[in-house]
Structure 1
Amino acid sequence: MGSIEDRLRAVEDQLAIADLRGRYCHLLDGRQWPAFIDLFTEDGVFEGLSAVRGRAALTEFFAHRVPAMTEEFWHFCSNGTVVLEGDRASGRISMEYLSVMNGVSYVSAGHYDDEMVKRDGVWRFAARRLTFYFLAPLHEGWAGRPFHNPAA
């Protein structure tokens, strides 16, 4: 079961990781790019609509390419799991994503598979991999629709 100090550290780490994941959604949706990119390690990876590595590539993708393909977007995450292994952690969190592209409202869902590291007392994403289950125009619905990126 571990010492009380070890158990307390695990709780603090889980809370910090939950905060990291929440800040990801809020900073991304608010387009607060410097603070958002700081959520990743220097060599952090994002795989989703594209695969990018490192803060320069993350900035290019999120601050320039994402706004060019999506007028508005909102992320909602829940059901997060975390496996702690010292200063490393992994887990999955469910995601609902609402967006407006070319004046059309879209609804989507999927999950993130996360790899996180704690450096200098701060948890950051080492890798965040997004899997979409569907992305569909809201007026059409999503039943039986595989993921298709209309911006691609």
Structure 2
Amino acid sequence: MKTIEDRLKLVEDQLEIAQLRAHYCHLLDTRRWDEFIALFTPDGVFEGLEAVCGHDALHAFFSERVPKLAEDFWHFCTNGTVDLDGDVATGRISMEYLSVTDGVSFVSAGHYDDVMHRVDGRWRFASRKITFYFLSPLSEGWAGRPFPGRAPAPRGAA
């Protein structure tokens, strides 16, 4: 049976991880790159349009490549899960992504798979992998439009 201290620590860890994930969205969307990169461990990995590892590569990818993909963007994350095992946490969180590219509004959705480590008493992303379900111009809708590079789901598939 867990002690009240163990249960309180679990709740504190869950809340800090929720804040880590929220800060990720806010700092990314406001392009506060130094603070954003500090959310990752020094050897942290982001896997999305490409895989990058370490603070220098993360900074270059997010500050140079990402702004070329969209004039503006907003991330909204919900339904986060987390499993804790000491100083390691894993989980998934759903993501909606809105963006503007060449004056066209886009809508997208997907999820992040996260591995987080407690480093010097703070939770940080050790790895974050994004999976997109679709990316579509808002005016066209998203039905039947998978994200480029991902095969469409068979008709009737959930």
TM-score class, shorter:
over 0.9
What's the TM-score, normalizing by structure 1? 0.96
| Deviation, structure 1 residue 49 | 1.2
Q: Using the alignment, how far apart are the partners of 2:135 and 2:112 within structure 1?
A: 15
Distance 1:134 1:6 in 2: 41
Residue deviations 1:5-43, cap 9 Å, x none? Answer: 111100000000000000000000000000000000000
**SS in structure 1 opposite 2:115?**
strand
Amino acid at match of 1:61: F
Q: How does 1:11-26 map to 2 (within 5 A)?
A: 11-26=11-26
User: Which residue in the other structure is 1:125 paired with?
Assistant: 125
1:76 matched residue in structure 2: 76
Distance 1:98 1:122 in 2: 30
Runs of 4+ in 1 over 6 A off after TM superposition: none
**Cα RMSD over matched residues?**
0.8
- Deviation by residue 1:100-148 (Cα, 9 ceiling, x = unmatched): 0111100000000000000111000000000000000001110011112
Which residues of 2 match residues 90-129 of structure 1 at below 5 A?
90-129=90-129
Give aligned pairs, total: 149
Structure 2, unmatched stretches of 5+, are 150-158
What percent of counterpart residues are identical? 69
Normalising by structure 2, what TM-score?
0.93
What is the deviation of 1:76?
Answer: 0.1
